[in-house]
Amino acid sequence: MSKRETVVVPQEEIVRQKEFLHLIRELNLGKLKKYSISTFGCQMNENDSERLAGMLAEMGYTESQKTEDSDLIIYNTCCVRENAELKVYGHLGSLKRLKKQNPDLIIAVCGCMMQQPEVVEHIKQKYRHVDLIFGTHNLYKFPELVYSSMMSGKTIVDIWESSGFIAEDMPIERKDGVKAWVTVMYGCNNFCSYCIVPYVRGRERSRGLKDIVNEVTVLGQQGYKEITLLGQNVNSYGKDLGEDISFAKLLYELNKVDGIERIRFMTSHPKDLSDELIYAIRDCRKVCNHLHLPVQAGSTKVLDEMNRKYTKEQYLELIAKVKENIPGISLSTDIIIGFPGETEEDFDDTVDVMEKVRYDMAYTFLYSKRTGTPAAKSTEQVSDDVKKHRFDRLLEVQNRISKEINDELLGKEVEILVEGLSKNSNTTYTGRTETNKIVNFKGSSELVGKLVRVRIDKVQTWSLEGTLI
Ligand code: 5AD
Ligand code: SF4
């Protein structure tokens, strides 16, 4: 057996799951069954929820906007930071009443939180009205689990500890008609000392290159214009395939797919950003001029304690190389504030990196202690007050830089991909530049999914306003 075959779910198993889809559809026949899914966390979870939605559609369920009138409620959870977990418990508590009113209601919880045994135990003890608990590795078994729950009426718990298998060919119902997420790899091998992801998402597993190209080809035929390739560390793509495959090669392949106009990807780890990948971003017309390259912290001491495997200087050199090779590239980052032991001087280094790189955008997070990770054991936890103070300081710096970068676009013409109506408006449409900047403009529905040119006539920190030309 090749390395690959050991991780791909066998076709017979997929067929078996599809049989469960049809069995449930028959049970639901003639009944108006509705579902709702609440998704927490990253785009990968959003993409998993699209898969759940695809399976639910085949089971005969339609989506409801309201939790209260649903027959099947799913919480797809995240455990990267504590506040996402607390929200889930809050929601689960409030469902008790609904379950009392409708005993046939199926309540399911899945996703990263469920890969932690103490969470599952807590839910089993404290939220007895939950019917179905499953994890991240066996999402494709959802049809069988729903069927078992319907038949037995008992709580079904199915969590796989080891890194899961990759299931191809399961149904999917995507949220958007212009942009699509495509997961290219699962898991992470990096074990940054603050992060729970490697424990709950398992080791790195790449999808086959052909499977990805096929998925994107179909998306192109369906009229999708933009894809975002997802993975915890996309730069490692292919390393487990045992063939001469890399993320850069995947980009060159996808660049040829008809219909697709833009390719984005996230997330990249600085230690794995190869020259080959930098050249691929530069040379592939469809790969957007934007790189999300989380720095996490500026201080070399903190980076070492985070197990990031680069120094402040190495990160800055890498950014210089990227800028030199890809002029005009926009850059974004993730930053953690208040990692254990972070001193004021360490934090100054983070501010310094921000000033030197001049990111277009930064996602800043307060450090959240995650049980089971090495950093959680540190006795040098930073107080909430200090974290909040540093957060405000960083935000001020980033807001200024973002505005200054955007100001340079005033009066300029840019190309945007039109995504749809902007929130709370019937006439204002919204799109994004290749560099991932939001542009609002007066337009019409036939422009959705098209690349149009606009002149920027107003600039804000987080968005731009323009006029069609
Ligand atoms: N606390 C705060 N932020 C975290 N992240 C990951 N783990 C934690 C944590 N324990 C952030 C990192 C990562 C992003 C997705 O979430 O910045 O890049
Ligand atoms: Fe977490 Fe680090 Fe892996 Fe990103 S690279 S998912 S921060 S362990």
Q: CA angle at residue 54 from 49 to 58, to 5 degrees?
A: 145
Buried-state track 251-287, b at ≥16 Cβ within 10 A, e below 16: bebbeebeebbbbbbbbbbbebbeeebbebbeebebb
Strands 438-442 and 428-433: antiparallel
CATH number of 299-407: 3.30.750.200
How far is it, in rounded angstroms, from Cα 357 to Cα 223? 36
DSSP string for 266-281: E---GGG--HHHHHHH
Sequence ranges of the domains in the chain: 3-162, 176-288, 299-407, 413-468
- Which of 195, 200, 306, 308 has the most ligand 2 atoms within 8 A of CB, as the residue to mutate? 195
From the CA of 366, which ligand is nearest? Answer: 1
Q: What is the mean pLDDT of residues 264-277?
A: 96
**CB-count exposure of residue 224 (10 Å: 0-12, 13-18, 19+):** buried
Residue 2 has pLDDT above 60, yes or no: no
With a 6 Å cutoff on the Cβ, whether 363 touches ligand 2 is no
DSSP string for 286-348: TB-SEEE---B-S-HHHHHHTT----HHHHHHHHHHHHHHSTT-EEEEEEEE--TT--HHHHH
- Give residue 73 CA to ligand 2 midpoint distance, Å: 30
> What region, left, alpha or beta, does residue 461 occupy, with left being phi > 0 and alpha being psi -120 to 50 degrees?
alpha
- Give residue 452 CA to ligand 2 midpoint distance, Å: 36
pLDDT in tens, 35-50: 999 999 999 999 999 9
CATH number of 413-468: 2.40.50.140
Q: CA angle at residue 200 from 194 to 202, to 5 degrees?
A: 105
Shared fold status for 299-407 and 413-468:
no
With a 6 Å cutoff on the Cβ, whether 198 touches ligand 2 is yes
From the CA of 333, which ligand is nearest? Answer: 1
Bridge partners of 365, per DSSP, are: 336
How far is it, in rounded angstroms, from Cα 240 to Cα 237? 8
With a 6 Å cutoff on the Cβ, whether 232 touches ligand 2 is yes
Q: What is the pLDDT of residue 6?
A: 53
Q: What proportions of the chain, in percent to the nearest 5, are helix, strand and coil?
A: 40, 20, 40
- Give residue 292 CA to ligand 2 midpoint distance, Å: 14
Strands 463-468 and 451-459: antiparallel
Q: What is the mean pLDDT of residues 410-428?
A: 94
Q: How far is CA 263 from the centre of its chain?
A: 15
- Give residue 295 CA to ligand 1 midpoint distance, Å: 11
Task: Give every strand in the sheet of 330-337, ordered side by side.
Answer: 290-292, 330-337, 361-366
With a 6 Å cutoff on the Cβ, whether 195 touches ligand 2 is yes
Q: Are 298 and 343 in contact (CB under 8 A)?
A: no
Residue 69 has pLDDT above 50, yes or no: yes
pLDDT in tens, 331-382: 999 999 999 999 999 999 999 999 999 999 999 999 999 999 999 999 999 9
Kindly state the percentage of the chain with pLDDT values over 70: 98
Nearest residue (CA) to ligand 1, atom 18: 334
With a 6 Å cutoff on the Cβ, whether 192 touches ligand 2 is yes
**Mean per-residue pLDDT over the chain, rounded:** 95
Q: Which residues line ligand 1 (CB under 6 A)?
A: 80-81, 194-195, 294, 296, 334, 336, 365, 367-368, 370
What are φ and ψ of residue 346, in 5° steps? -60, -45
pLDDT in tens, 197-245: 999 999 999 999 999 999 999 999 999 999 999 999 999 999 998 778 9
Q: What is the mean pLDDT of residues 244-252?
A: 95
DSSP string for 41-52: SSHHHHHHHHHH
- Give residue 287 CA to ligand 1 midpoint distance, Å: 26
**Domain 3-162: which CATH class?**
alpha beta
From the CA of 79, which ligand is nearest? Answer: 1
Bridge partners of 378, per DSSP, are: none
Residue 5 confidence class, pLDDT cut points 50, 70, 90: very low
- Give residue 420 CA to ligand 1 midpoint distance, Å: 30
Domain spanning 176-288: CATH 3.30.750.210: yes
Nearest residue (CA) to ligand 2, atom 4: 232
- Which of 192, 334, 370 has the most ligand 1 atoms within 8 A of CB, as the residue to mutate? 334
Nearest residue (CA) to ligand 1, atom 2: 367
- Give residue 93 CA to ligand 1 midpoint distance, Å: 26
- Give residue 89 CA to ligand 1 midpoint distance, Å: 20
Bridge partners of 8, per DSSP, are: 166
Q: What is the pLDDT of residue 165?
A: 78
Q: What is the pLDDT of residue 161?
A: 79
Residue 1 has pLDDT above 60, yes or no: no
Q: CA angle at residue 138 from 134 to 141, to 5 degrees?
A: 90
Residue 425 confidence class, pLDDT cut points 50, 70, 90: confident
pLDDT in tens, 119-175: 999 999 999 999 999 999 899 999 999 999 999 988 999 998 776 678 988 999 999
How far is it, in rounded angstroms, from Cα 338 to Cα 343? 8
